[in-house]
Amino acid sequence: MKKTWKRLMLAAMLMAAASPAVQAEHLIIMSANDTHSQIEPASDGKSGVLRRLAAYDQARRENKNVLVVHAGDAVQGTNYFSLYGGKVEYSLLDSLHYDIVVLGNHEFDNGIDSLAYYYKNVKATKLSTNYDFSDTKLAGEFQPWVIKTYGDKRVGFIGLNVNPVGMVADGNFKGLRYLNPMDVADATAKYLKEIQKVDYAVMISHIGYDSMDPNEPNDSLLVTKSHYIDFVIGGHSHTVLKPGSQFSNVLNADGKVVVIGQNGKSGKYVGKYDLDLETGEVIYSLVDIDSKLDAAASQYTSLQSWLAPFKHGVDSLMNNPVGQSVRFMKNDSWAAQNWICDAVMQIIPKLTKQRAQFAIMNKGGIRVDMPKGVVTEGLLGSMFPFDNRFVILNITGKDLLEALKVMAYRDGDAVSKELKVAYNAKKEIVSAKLNGKEIKPNKTYQMLTIDFLANGGDYLNSFKNCERLFVDDVKYGSRVLDYVKELTKQGKMIDSTDEARMYLKK
């Protein structure tokens, strides 16, 4: 009997040795951020909502545990939002079967009541840990955290939102109470781990990898102060973070590597986070959303049919030529910034007798590239989609220099040819000249801008101190469209210069 028992034990040991080890469960998180109404492929051939759905569905077929999230700014940037006000994008959040969504600042572009009208129908879990909506029409729609269970592991998610002051037009977030992410994020992650007993705490963020203003929090700074956040799914700053780089792998307060991911903008990439639920290891990668997904995307015939009437409206604008451009201008290039500032300086004398000595616009307001060749009405509508008006301000040199310092912190902004500004490595202004003369703190100047900036948008708070001399009653994008049409009548083409008007002095 003993020999039989020994033989059985030996056989069991040999079988165990020959059997493959049981693999730990993984959670695959697919993430988008700052897709900005990019429903169709962009001008470079990347992106497209049908392709994105194909990438998500492929992940769902290939993996047991898949979660799909959107880290904010699903809207604003193409004529789909300008024409339809969010109906397309907010419906697509469910058509693409997002599990969790977080708000971006552009979700507020048509006001909080309009956002509530569409967002109440979104079926995905809506997360916001640092916005209190109690006094708004969004009351009760958002959760401060959510927990998902996979096998015997619990994963907690929190959602962090950007400070609306300086990012959202005044009045568009009335009733919302903002809490600083630095005070909320790690404290909530600690609660999830110690009280709710989650194994991992994930932050879905729309505060940016870095900040436009030195006083505002961001993902990279927050992680260095944290103890409980395991990895970050980011948005807002349009950063493409290279997986495995020093920027993606950041040390927290305990010296632990925390992965931060972000996928640029317009849905040209989707982030993929592979979380080993046993070890906690996170492997972050980028998935290209391009023509390789077209065959798989072609199966979504019902979704294509639903999109067809919206596409027809957009195409009617995109097929209406209004001008010609001598050159290609990337939307965030000096050429595009210089062109819009110089153009508005030519537009304003036709609207008012009030003189403007120079113009400051926001480079973030230029949403798409200017192509070489034919320029259409729809293209210009996509470039300048915001509901902003021209404003002429009386501004002191002191307030102007304060604003230029904020602009230098983000490596310059759009200014007209009359201004030349140099700053040093510490982002201090070393020279600021208007028509070749140094700007004097005690002198008053007349500046052309838009009401978003005049209200302190993009953290230009000193503009709020200024007297308003003129306020237009028409969207400035419409003024730009009329300007281009007039250029065409005169036989002129759109052109610009690559000159850096705000620059680092070495």
Cα gap 243→345, rounded to integer Å: 43
Of 218, 223, 134, nearest in space to 174 by CA: 134
Question: Domain check: are 382 and 296 in the same one?
Answer: no
Q: pLDDT for 324-350, tens place per residue? A: 999 999 999 999 999 999 999 999 999
Reduced 3-state DSSP string for 223-247: HHCCCCCCEEECCCCCCECCCCCCC
Supply the pLDDT for residue 5.
41
- What number is the average pLDDT over the span 128-132? 98
Model pLDDT for residues 458-475, shown as the tens digit of each residue = 999 999 999 999 999 999
Same-domain status, 422 and 362? yes
Together in a domain, 41 and 140: yes
The answer as to whether 14 is a domain residue is no
Longest dimension (CA), the chain: 110
Q: Which of residues 309, 329, 361 is at a domain's end?
A: 309
Average pLDDT over residues 298-310: 98
Residue 263's pLDDT band (cuts 50, 70, 90): very high
* CA dist 448 → 345, 414, 429, 468, 471 (Å): 8, 12, 21, 10, 10
**CA 222 – CA 231 distance, rounded (Å):** 11
Q: Is residue 16 part of a domain?
A: no
Any domain includes 215: yes
Domain co-membership, 326 together with 186: no
Split at pLDDT 50, 70, 90, the class of 212 is: confident
- The answer to whether residue 18 scores a pLDDT higher than 60 is no
- Span of 12-16, 125-129, 467-471 with lowest mean pLDDT: 12-16
Pair (207, 337) in one structural domain: no
Is 241:248 a contact under the CB 8 Å cutoff? yes
- From 309, 329, 346, the end of a domain falls on 309
144 in Cβ contact with 128 (< 8 Å) = yes
Tell the burial category of 432 from Cβ atoms under 10 Å away from its Cβ (0-12, 13-18, 19+).
Answer: buried
Identify the CA nearest to 181 among candidates 136, 226, 212: 226
Number of domains into which the chain is organized: 2
The parent domain of residue 362 ranges over 321-504
- Give the pLDDT mean for 229-241: 97
Instruction: Kindly state whether residue 175 falls inside one of the protein's structural domains.
Output: yes
Residue in 195, 280, 286, 277 with CA at minimum distance from that of residue 233: 286
Q: What is the dihedral of CA 88, 336, 329, 261, to 10 degrees?
A: -60
pLDDT in tens, 72-126: 999 999 999 999 999 999 999 999 999 999 999 999 999 999 999 999 999 999 9
Neighbours of 458 (CB within 10 A): 22
Q: Are residues 291 and 345 in the same domain?
A: no
Q: From CA 61, how far away is CA 156, in angstroms rounded?
A: 24
CATH number at residue 358: 3.90.780.10
Same domain, 260 and 375: no
- Residue 246's alpha-carbon distances to 203, 220, 225, 242, 469, in angstroms, are 19, 11, 17, 9, 48
Output the domain CATH number for residue 227: 3.60.21.10
137 within some domain: yes
Q: Are residues 297 and 355 in the same domain?
A: no
Look at residue 15 in the predicted model and tell me its pLDDT: 40
Place of tokens 């419906």: 91
Answer positive or negative: Cα dihedral of 318, 322, 326, 330: negative
Q: Is the pLDDT of residue 7 over 50?
A: no
DSSP 91: H
Is residue 10 in a domain?
A: no
Q: Residue 104 carries which DSSP code?
A: -
Structural domain contains residue 245: yes
Task: Write out the H or E segment, with its range, that includes residue 406.
Answer: helix 397-409
Last residue of a domain, one of 275, 309, 343: 309
- For 18, other C-beta atoms within 10 Å of its C-beta total 7
Indicate whether 299 and 165 sit together in one domain: yes
Q: Are residues 359 and 254 in the same domain?
A: no
Judge if 272 and 362 occupy the same domain: no
Q: Report residue 122: phi and psi, to 5°.
A: -75, 125
In terms of domains, do 265 and 411 share one? Answer: no
